[in-house]
Chain A
């Protein structure tokens, strides 16, 4: 087998996740069970080989926790917004498709941004242009250019938050420069 070996460090998040799922499914977090789970995780990762996810190499927990909390709040807000629109506006709701160019070109960040965007109020990813990393977003209740600009800013802010959590060093320094300018 002449595939490129991935370093253990790169594989570690996947293994930790697999062991966590194993423990959760058995509902048993005793050391013996976890050890057996780790053995199976390594075997699975070796046999069922998938292309490794290109991680940015850093993960900022201090930024991730508030981001997750805000995200949870936004999920709640999104549901109530849809509920409100369905009951009050109903058939007269007006939407728009907005193109949002992203800063990052890493697949992981574009995917993560798309996921978060799909779950926060009033936006859904319709199409992704991978070559220019542009997201085409369907925004509900977007009636004029002002609303579209607000939606665009929301998406770019979400991406900035994700870059602060797990973007590469280059992306992070580009982001700080952009904000300072």
Chain B
């Protein structure tokens, strides 16, 4: 076998797997019951899918100088995806998007209640000003 065929085959496998990752994310979005588990489906396959597709692109271009820019593009993805997932998850938790019956344990609940109790005690009868933060 000549190397050209091998490179083509590897990048073809990468492309198909990367596309399947997107499909996996969509299946997860449709089948998972609550926001939090859907977030898992939305973030993780995205990162791997982009990695595989960029690797296929790098293999197809067959020149070394595209690799740094592909690495930069992937690193940006790596840095931004957890942040946006965390922001969405935090907003989801704070606005009570959770279904408690789907959780086997929730160790944040007690802390939130305690903090709310402290804040209410501090403010007395006044309304708490959580929105002021």
* Chain B residues in 8 Å Cβ range of A164: none
Q: 0/1 per residue, B101-113, Cβ < 8 Å to A?
A: 0111111110100
The verdict on A67 contacting chain B, using a C-beta distance below 8 Å, is: no
Count A-B pairs with CB separation below 8 Å.
145
**Selected contact of B37 from candidates A95, A99, A129, A145, CB within 8 Å:** A95
- Interface residue SS majority, chain B: helix
Distance in angstroms between the alpha carbons of A127 and B111 in the assembled complex: 11
**Closest Cβ of chain A: how far from B124's Cβ, in Å?**
24
> Contact between A94 and B43 (Cβ–Cβ < 8 Å)?
no
Interface size on A, residues (CB 8 A): 48
Q: How large is the interface on B (under 10, 10 to 19, 20 to 34, 35 or more residues)?
A: 35 or more
Q: With A20-B68, A25-B69, A125-B86 in contact, is A97–B41 under 8 Å at CB?
A: no
**A44 interface hit (Cβ, 8 Å):** no
Contact pick for A127, options B43, B66, B90, B104, CB 8 Å? B90
A118 with B72, Cβ < 8 A, contacts A95-B104, A97-B105 known: no
Cα distance, A30 to B64, chains bound together (Å) = 14
Within 8 A of A (CB), among B47-97: 47-49, 51, 65-66, 68-69, 71-72, 78-79, 81-82, 85-86, 89-90, 93
Given A79-B24, A119-B47, 14 further pairs, Cβ under 8 A: A27-B66, A29-B65, A75-B44, A75-B51, A81-B44, A83-B24, A85-B37, A91-B32, A94-B102, A115-B79, A118-B85, A119-B82, A122-B40, A138-B36
